[in-house]
Structure 1
Amino acid sequence: MQSVAAAVTMVRDDAFFLEAWVRYYGGLFGRENCYVVNHGRGAEVARIAEGCNIIGLPGDPHPNFDMKRWRLLNGLVAGLRSYYRQVIVGDVDELVVLDPAEGRSLLDWLADQPLRRVLTPVGLEVIHRVDLEAEPIGAQILGPRRHVRLAPHYSKPCVISLGTKISRGGHFTQASKLFAPDPLYLFHLKFCDFGQYVEAMNRRNAVTEAVGVGVKDAAIGRHWFAEARGEDRAVFEAFASLEMQEGFDLGWVRRRMKRSWKPRGDTGYWQFDRPNIDTQYHLPERFVGQF
């Protein structure tokens, strides 16, 4: 029984992403060290997360959904820190991955990390190049999908061994020092498959429609609303126009994060600049099969 690391997420209906999350973190940490908040007490979520620690919650639609969600997740992380050295927290379509070039597991690597820190992996968005990648995905995502785009918005401070407050959305904390280890990445899976994207967006649009208020009146991510969705096929076809980069050295991204590190106004949170970077990379072979 290990007490090095736990993983925490909250989910409603996203079966495909939850299956990937449970396979990945359950395989690394053991399902007994995975904590799944089942928003709406869905039977399918309970089935997929069997063996994990499942917390069932009422699923009534609410305009402050994201605010309530992160208030709960902050509390869970604070409590679990008393029992684990490191707690990873994030959305169900986000996976923290150690570069396989390190030659050891994420769990072993975390066991050697100093305490009282917040670790911020570099964010990468797995994209489905519909013009190149016809193979469907299943239990394995990296392999059928080999392209990623830089996603500074998803360079999230999500590996916690310090008492701190995490902002709504998980994008900022009140930790005043930035630690962005070279071999650590956060893979965001929203765009990893065209068909899964359409189904997920349909579900999220239905949630915001049930809430019954607009973007400006809700504490819910703008991307959940139908008016911000755009045309699905065009979103994926546009990935082909991202400039392809040679190699896979992202040290310059981490250096840029550190140079722009500063307080986020007078909120108590800290941030780095998060510009849009229209580039993509072909993942090295060593990443295939990581999830």
Structure 2
Amino acid sequence: MQSVAAALTMVRGDAFFLNAWLRHYGETFGRENCYIVNHGRGEDVENLAEGCNIIGIPGDPHPNFDMKRWRLLNNLVQGLRCYYTHVVVGDVDELVVVDPSHGGSLLDYLAEQKPRRVLTPLGLEVIHRIDVEPEEIIGPILGPRRHVRVAPHYSKPCIISQGVKIARGGHFTQYDKLVTPDELYLFHLKFCDFGTYVQTMNARNAVTQEVGTDVQDTAIGRHWFAEARGEDRAVFDAFADLPMEEGFDLGWVRKRMARSWGPRGETGFYAFKRPDYAQQYRLPDRFTGLI
């Protein structure tokens, strides 16, 4: 039984992403080291996550959903740290990977890392190029999907081995050093499949409609609201217009993160600038089948 690393997420439905999360962390860490907060106690989550540690909570809609969620996740992370060296925490559509060129699994990698730190993988958004990727996803995602764009918003301090507070959304912590190893990435899967995106957004729009407030009056991510959604196919068609970069050298992004690192006002949190980058990259073959 390993005590190097645990994975923690919260989910309500989202079977497509939960399956990917379970394949990735369940196979890497072992399902007995995966912790899933089942928001609403859905039977679908119970069935899919068999063998994991499932924490059922009420699913009543609430305008401060995200605030409550991260308060719970914060406390669970600190509790799990009593038993594991590292805790990987994030949304169910966010997966941390080690570049295959480094060798070994994520568990192997974390076993070699010093404790009492916070690691920040470089965020990459997997995008479905519907103009050149007609294949459906029936197993691994990387392979049928090979295009990514740099996503600083998802360069999250999500591997925790220090007693720090995590901000709502998981974007910042109160750890004052930026540790962003060259071989670590966080793949965000929201846009990895057009059909799944439509279904997911329909479900999230229904949740915010049930809450009955607007985006200004809630602690729910803006992207859950219908008015911030836009036209789905236009969103995906636009991916083809992003400039394609040669190679896969992303050291320049990490350097910019380090240069802009500092306190986030008087909040006690630390952050780097998160500009929007227009570039897209084609993933090298070594990533195929990784998630």
**TM-score, with length taken from structure 2:** 1.00
Instruction: Note the alpha carbon deviations across 1:170-212, whole angstroms, 9 max, x for none.
Output: 0000000000001000000000000000000000000000000
Equivalent in the alignment of 1:172: 172
Equivalent in the alignment of 2:289: 289
Equivalent in the alignment of 2:131: 131
Equivalent in the alignment of 1:192: 192
Task: Determine helix, strand or coil for the equivalent of 1:142.
Answer: coil
Structure 2 gaps of 5+ residues are none
Whole-angstrom distance in 1 between the partners of 2:92 and 2:254: 24
Q: Shift of the alpha carbon at 1:83? A: 0.5
Equivalent in the alignment of 1:43: 43
Q: Shift of the alpha carbon at 1:103? A: 1.3
Task: Determine helix, strand or coil for the equivalent of 2:190.
Answer: coil
Equivalent in the alignment of 2:160: 160
Q: Is 1:66 paired with 2:66?
A: yes
Instruction: Note the alpha carbon deviations across 1:75-132, whole angstroms, 9 max, x for none.
Output: 0000000100100000000000000001111101100101110000000000000000
Which amino acid in the other structure matches residue 212 of structure 1?
G
Equivalent in the alignment of 1:210: 210
Which amino acid in the other structure matches residue 183 of structure 1?
E
Q: Shift of the alpha carbon at 1:251? A: 0.8
Whole-angstrom distance in 2 between the partners of 1:42 and 1:70: 20
Indicate the percent of aligned positions where both proteins have the same amino acid.
74
Equivalent in the alignment of 2:82: 82
Which amino acid in the other structure matches residue 126 of structure 2?
V
Q: Shift of the alpha carbon at 1:139? A: 1.6
Structure 1 gaps of 5+ residues are none
Q: Shift of the alpha carbon at 1:138? A: 1.7
The 5 A counterparts of 1:1-291 are 1-291=1-291
Task: Determine helix, strand or coil for the equivalent of 2:92.
Answer: coil
Task: Determine helix, strand or coil for the equivalent of 1:101.
Answer: coil
Q: CA RMSD in A?
A: 0.4
**TM-score, with length taken from structure 1:** 1.00
Which amino acid in the other structure matches residue 192 of structure 1?
C
